[in-house]
A and B are shown apart, each in its own frame.
Chain A
Amino acid sequence: MHEMDCSDAVAKIGDFLDRELSADEIAMVERHLAECGGCRNAFRWEGSVISLVKQCAQEQAPEGLVGRLLDGLDEGH
């Protein structure tokens, strides 16, 4: 099977972190990362950005919101 170089690996960075690759592709990326410190760092930075934004953007619905939203739904509608 074809081995990845750095630019192949970096091209897959987003899909890899989002778990949107096939098992074969994941294995290829992982093989490259095991050998390449530069790409490991790049992937870690990329993953950190995603976690940061996810963490900041996470919301919890305010207390009682579901009740307010569903209140007054009318079976007849």
Chain B
Amino acid sequence: MTKEQFEQEVERVIDPAFGYAVRLSGGNRDEAEDLLQEAVLAAFKGRETFTSGTNFKAWFFRILTNSLYRKVGKKQLETVSIDADPEPYLYMQARDAGFSGSEDPAELLFDKIDGAEVLAALDALPDDFREVSSLYFTGEMSYDEIAETLDIPVGTVRSRLHRARKLLQVALWDVAVRRGLVEDISHA
């Protein structure tokens, strides 16, 4: 890959790469920039290992992920007690709280939840779940691309992502209850 091709590829993925780096850095944008800088240097140095015609984004995001763990070390996945049932948690909580279920959930709850609270919930996920979720939510990646980036089976991506989404829903419902949104609506 020539320097020019490398630059074009980086430019093409810069927004999702920055988003992913921000999440890996727990929301710290300066750290995200440093992390990206390291990854760009490492990727450029190792550009001969990239096979042309394959997925540059997955290759680069893998280097980005490794740059982080070289710095901070990777925490082992905590044992998260969450059942794998794919039940739609928020919907069921809402129904139990007295919503009919046919309301527009965005209008009802989500528009009233602060973006910062959503991101806090994302950043609070255990490492392995946060990694997969960040690639999915900010990296705009398919299951296959995530699997390639993290070098794990697609089935693992699927189960981590589905569990992560459930954890996020538990956290968001918690926010809604704490902020009194649920009570306001069910008594309205």
Contact = CB atoms under 8 A, between A and B. Distances in A.
Which interface class (under 10, 10 to 19, 20 to 34, 35 or more) fits A? 35 or more
Contact of A44 (B105, B143, B161): B105
A35 to B, nearest CB: 16
Interface string A49-77: 11111111111111001101110010101
A53 B22 contact: no
Contact of A50 (B40, B86, B138, B165): B165
Contacts of B44: 73, 77
Interface residues of B, number: 52
> From DSSP, what is the main secondary structure of chain B's interface residues?
helix
13 contacts: A14-B158, A49-B165, A49-B169, A50-B165, A51-B106, A53-B118, A53-B168, A57-B119, A59-B16, A61-B14, A69-B40, A75-B3, A77-B45
Interface of B: 3, 6-7, 10-11, 14-19, 22-23, 29, 33, 36-37, 40-41, 44-45, 86-88, 90-92, 94, 101-102, 104-106, 110, 113, 115, 118-119, 122, 133-134, 137-138, 142-143, 158, 161-162, 165, 168-169, 172
